[in-house]
Each structure stands twice: as structure tokens, then as C-alpha cells.
Amino acid sequence: EARQSGLAAAAEAVKAWDSPGFRESLLREVPRLLVDPEYRGRSETVLGDIRDKFRRKTGVEDGAPGDATAPPTFLPDTEGWRSLETSMGALEAMMQGCGAAFTPRIDSAMIDLLAECSKHTNRFVREYAFFAFKNAFEVCEHEVFLAAVAPRTVDVIAAGIADNWSQVRYAGSTAARAFMEKAGEEKSRFFPQLLGLMCLNRHYVAEGV
């Protein structure tokens, strides 16, 4: 709790008093905090090693018995997948903080990783993946979005708004809205993949979708 509170206070301090020296001292602590054993500490920092956590989901070789960082061998679909979804939440916060300056980071590696997470067996991971896509669309520069991001993600978003879990479908719907808003006058290019599913979701029973 002390680490989480300290990080939250530091984030507010940066907003109100942006000192380069203070920011540099915070950045020096980031690598250590990205692997903090307490998830609340990780969630208050920036991007953790999502790819490593995703590939350890089967839990066959990492972590000793009783190790808090060891990957799970089984978790029901009603529980989160340890730190994987919180790491993606941290990625969302980083994109929101960087704004359009994050655009160069929205590359093939990041898109492919989030697309892989959007197919994860755990619905919490899928949900966070689509919220991360939403933030990526919102901060991405318009020209880059149309040229490189939209063609690679439109089918992923279509799958999200047809997910069988309502929470995932809601997250996919927010991503679809951000996708279409960023596409602007070019949105008709993506109607074949998204429009029908978006119209059907207007009649979906879950609130918010």
C-alpha cells in the first residue's frame, strides 16, 4: 500500500509540479516497479512485460511453488489472470499520458501482441486488450491510423464486438467507437467488417453495449 500510495502521489505531483529532475528520479525507479510482486504497485507504473506473462500462461517452467510471481496452471474464467490484465491496464495509462507522442510505439509488435491477448482464454485479459486498443486508437495520429493501424486491427475489433462475454463485448464496442471516430471521413472503408455487428449490438441486452 505504501508503494501504491507513493506512486499515486508522485503522479499527482507531476501533474501539478513538473520538475525534470523529479521526473528523472521517478523514471529511474520504473524498471524495479514494473516487476513489483504487488499488482497495485505495477498498475500505478507503466508497461510491464506483457508478452512474457502471456507466454507463461500455461505455467510449465517458470516460478517455484509458493512463488507469488509463478504463472497459474488453471484459473476459472471468473478470475483475472494474475498480472497480465493489470499490465495491460498500465499500458493504457502510459498511452493516455503520452498522447499522440505514443504513435511511433503503435507498431506491428504491439498490435500483434494485443491481438494475441484479445484471443486469450481468460475473459478479463480479452477485456483489457480491447480497452488497450481503444486507447491506442484515441492517441494514434490520424494518418498513421488509416495507413498502418486500421487495416491490421479491424478484424480484431470485429471479433471483440461479437464475443460471447458481455464485458468483453462492451470493451470491444468502446474500441469500435474509438476506431470509427478516428477513421473520420474514411469510416465507410470499414463498414463491411464492422457496421453489421455494430447494428446488431444496438439490440444486445447487456447494459452499455
pLDDT in tens, 9-61: 887 887 787 788 887 887 787 667 666 665 555 544 444 345 555 555 444 33
Q: How many CB atoms are located within 10 Å of the residue 9 CB?
A: 11
H or E element: which one contains 103?
A: none
Angle between helices 166-183 and 191-201 (to 10 degrees): 130
The CA angle 192-198-204, to the nearest 5 degrees, is 145
CB count within 10 Å of CB 155 equals 13
CA dihedral 90, 92, 96, 100 (to 10 degrees): 120
Structure confidence by residue, pLDDT tens digits, 119-174: 988 888 899 999 999 999 999 999 999 999 999 999 999 999 999 999 999 999 99
Q: Identify whether the C-beta of residue 179 lies closer than 8 Å to the C-beta of residue 154.
A: yes
Among residues 143, 135, 130, 134, which one has the least CA distance to residue 102? 135
d(CA 173, CA 208): 9
Report the alpha-carbon distance of residue 70 to residue 38 in Å, rounded: 13
Check if the beta carbon of residue 184 is closer than 8 Å to that of residue 142: yes
* Cell numbers found for residue 160: 471483440
Q: Do 163 and 141 contact (CB within 8 A), yes or no?
A: no
Of residues 118 and 32, the one with the higher pLDDT is 118
What pLDDT is recorded for position 6? 81
